[in-house]
């Protein structure tokens, strides 16, 4: 080691220990973290503002052209897209840039702590995007649900009807609202339904139940579906996930990320859902 490197190495050690302590605290103790609005300039979109949540457990997000281009393959200007489990709105923003200000993205998240940031992001780029944030879970019945997380700061988590600790031991003091998507769309967004082209779902293991609850919409409007196969899902749940979409006329493809050149690997039978532990896939109508 060169003597002059010692201060730099010591600085990085202190920084690592400080950040490690902050992450450990965020996992164990609740704190309301602020956000920071950042500016990004994707090559094809021009300046875009985005609010990053300064929770130590959250990796800062960027608005990247390759992600916008991924969604442009499935969403056109003026389309309706739905993001179920939007979190702070990172991918909602990419979808909204693809749909343009003349389109509409409905961004659902029942977690009030991430929803606070999602609301900010929904209002940042009115000349380029049109995002409606909705502090709700998409469920098979209009009811209230427990929201649990493995982290005290509620970076992520999921809903349960009962006292199950599947998503962790930390629970919000107030239940969250569940809504039947078809009823909500017909009540508030009926004029947009014919433009529905994409439904993205990321609900920490609840995706199968969401798809069950919206199968009527999928059968009628045939939007592209992007879903997550959760690492804790059983083989039986994975097979049902496949069968439900295949039964509606969809073909499934594994994707390694939301980038324009990601390879589409066919998922041809239920057993193929066991090839990967935790992954995203895209389903297009045959």
Q: What's the rounded Cα separation, in Å, for the pair 37 and 53?
A: 9
Q: What's the rounded Cα separation, in Å, for the pair 164 and 166?
A: 6
Q: Residue 64 contacts by C-beta under 8 Å, 6 or more apart in sequence?
A: 40, 42, 94, 259
Q: How would residue 26 be classed by pLDDT, with cut points 50, 70 and 90? A: confident
Q: Residue 228 contacts by C-beta under 8 Å, 6 or more apart in sequence?
A: 201, 202, 203, 207, 278, 279, 280
Give the domains, in start order, of the chain with CATH numbers.
62-285 (3.40.50.150)
pTM: 0.92
Q: Residue 16 contacts by C-beta under 8 Å, 6 or more apart in sequence?
A: none
Angstrom CA distances, 225 to 82, 101, 199, stand at: 10, 22, 5
Neighbours of 244 (CB within 10 A): 16
The secondary structure element, H or E, covering residue 227 is: strand 224-229
Quick one: pLDDT at residue 163?
72
Q: Is the pLDDT of residue 1 over 90?
A: no
Quick one: pLDDT at residue 8?
57
Q: What is the mean pLDDT of residues 55-66?
A: 95
Check: CB of residue 246 under 8 Å from CB of residue 252: yes
Q: How would residue 6 be classed by pLDDT, with cut points 50, 70 and 90? A: low
Quick one: pLDDT at residue 204?
87
Q: How would residue 7 be classed by pLDDT, with cut points 50, 70 and 90? A: low
């Amino acid at each position: 080691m060169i003597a002059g490197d010692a201060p730099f190495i010591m600085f990085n050690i202190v920084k690592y220990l400080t950040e490690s302590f902050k992450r450990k605290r965020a996992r164990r103790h609740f704190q309301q973290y602020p956000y920071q609005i950042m500016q990004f300039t994707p090559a094809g979109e021009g300046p875009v503002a985005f609010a990053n949540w300064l929770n130590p457990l959250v990796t800062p997000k960027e608005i990247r052209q390759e992600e916008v281009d991924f969604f442009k393959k499935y969403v056109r200007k003026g389309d309706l897209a739905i993001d179920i489990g939007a979190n702070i709105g990172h991918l909602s923003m990419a979808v909204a840039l693809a749909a343009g200000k003349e389109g509409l993205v409905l961004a659902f998240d029942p977690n009030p702590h991430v929803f606070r940031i999602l609301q900010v992001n929904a209002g940042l780029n009115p000349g380029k995007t049109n995002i409606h944030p909705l502090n709700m879970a998409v469920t098979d019945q209009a009811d209230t649900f427990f929201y649990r997380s493995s982290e005290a700061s509620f970076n992520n988590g999921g809903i349960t009807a009962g006292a199950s600790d599947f998503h962790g031991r930390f629970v919000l003091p107030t239940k969250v609202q569940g809504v039947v998507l078809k009823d909500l769309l017909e009540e508030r967004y009926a004029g947009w339904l014919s433009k529905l082209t994409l439904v993205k779902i990321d609900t920490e293991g609840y995706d199968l139940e969401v798809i069950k609850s919206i199968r009527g919409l999928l059968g009628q409007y045939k939007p592209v579906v992007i879903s997550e196969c959760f690492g804790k899902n059983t083989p039986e749940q994975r097979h049902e996930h496949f069968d439900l979409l295949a039964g509606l006329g969809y073909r499934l493809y594994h994707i390694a990320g939301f980038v324009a050149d990601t390879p589409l690997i066919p998922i041809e039978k239920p057993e193929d859902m066991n090839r990967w532990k935790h992954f995203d896939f895209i389903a297009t109508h045959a």
